[in-house]
Amino acid sequence: MNIILLAPPAAGKGTQAQFLVSKYHMKHISTGELLRKSLKQDDEISKEIKERMNAGRLVSDEIILDLIAKEIETAKEGVVLDGFPRNRVQAIEYEQLLQKLGQKLDVVLYLSISKEVAKKRMKGRRTCPTCGKIYNMHMEEMLEELCGSCHTSLVSREDDNEETFDLRYETYMRETDPLISFYQEKGLLKQIDASKEKEEVFKKIEQILSTLS
């Protein structure tokens, strides 16, 4: 099964992707995570990627499509896409890639949320640099900010500050929000209220997936 998680920044895409992986054993592809990993290389491309991410802008389609093609071609059991596609060009390229591979997109889960709630979640986010688990300081009690699974010290993302969040949100509204109608017209979009607790959001996702063949 191929799933897209479509949502504004900090709505809970990564959190729901982790639930999906754990229950359905799908491959999770987060373009944000792939880009953050690529920043460890000290070259011109990494510099450009970092600049764009910290300015809340999209990284070029060329870089993203190259990353995605490599990941999808090696995925055998379907994928959950988190943070891709983010504009019309990427959405069309993804359709063509699936067609080439003889696969189809099953559903687009649109996690709807207000900017205010998403911003609050962003401010409390901490992630584990070792296992990638996502936490929230405002929601969970954390002993000395350590990962509950592997005891690594949790970190904040460089782009998780109020100014960059506002820019990321603006970029989302301009470039990504139009994909809601793009997928609605194809009959693939399912809207979920992402302001609910994460377990409740996942229950809704499970219900939707159970109706798909």
Q: Which residues bind ligand AP5 (CB under 6 A)?
A: 7, 9-15, 31-32, 35, 52-53, 56-59, 64, 83-84, 86, 90, 121, 124-125, 134-136, 139, 168, 197-198, 201
- Whichever of 2 and 83 has its CB closer to ligand AP5, that residue is 83
**Structural contact between residues 7 and 108, judged by C-beta atoms closer than 8 angstroms:** no
- Whichever of 107 and 160 has its CB closer to ligand AP5, that residue is 160
- Whichever of 11 and 80 has its CB closer to ligand AP5, that residue is 11
Rounded to a whole number of angstroms, the minimum distance from the CB of residue 42 to ligand AP5 is: 19
Rounded to a whole number of angstroms, the minimum distance from the CB of residue 213 to ligand AP5 is: 28
**Annotation says 36 is catalytic:** no
For residues 85-111, one letter each, b for 16 or more C-beta atoms within 10 angstroms of the residue's C-beta and e for the rest, the string is bbbeebbebbeeeeeeeeeebebbbbb
**Annotation says 168 is catalytic:** yes
| Of 36, 86, 121, 126, catalytic | 86
Rounded to a whole number of angstroms, the minimum distance from the CB of residue 29 to ligand AP5 is: 10
Rounded to a whole number of angstroms, the minimum distance from the CB of residue 153 to ligand AP5 is: 16
| Of 36, 121, 125, 204, catalytic | 125
CA dihedral 63, 81, 105, 181 (to 10 degrees): -80
The residue sitting closest to ligand AP5, measured at its beta carbon, is 32
| Of 57, 120, 133, 157, catalytic | 157
Q: Compute the C-alpha angle 4/91/123, nearest 5°.
A: 55
| Of 126, 168, 190, 204, catalytic | 168
- Specify the pairing of strand 134-136 against strand 189-193: unpaired
DSSP state of 200: H
For residues 128-162, one letter each, b for 16 or more C-beta atoms within 10 angstroms of the residue's C-beta and e for the rest, the string is beeeebbbbeeeeeeeeeebeeeeeebeeeebbee
Cα 107 to chain centroid, rounded: 15
Query: Rounded to 5 degrees, what are φ and ψ at 157?
Result: -80, 145
**Annotation says 52 is catalytic:** no
**Annotation says 125 is catalytic:** yes
| Of 13, 36, 121, 126, catalytic | 13
- Whichever of 14 and 20 has its CB closer to ligand AP5, that residue is 14
Residues marked as catalytic = 13, 86, 125, 157, 168
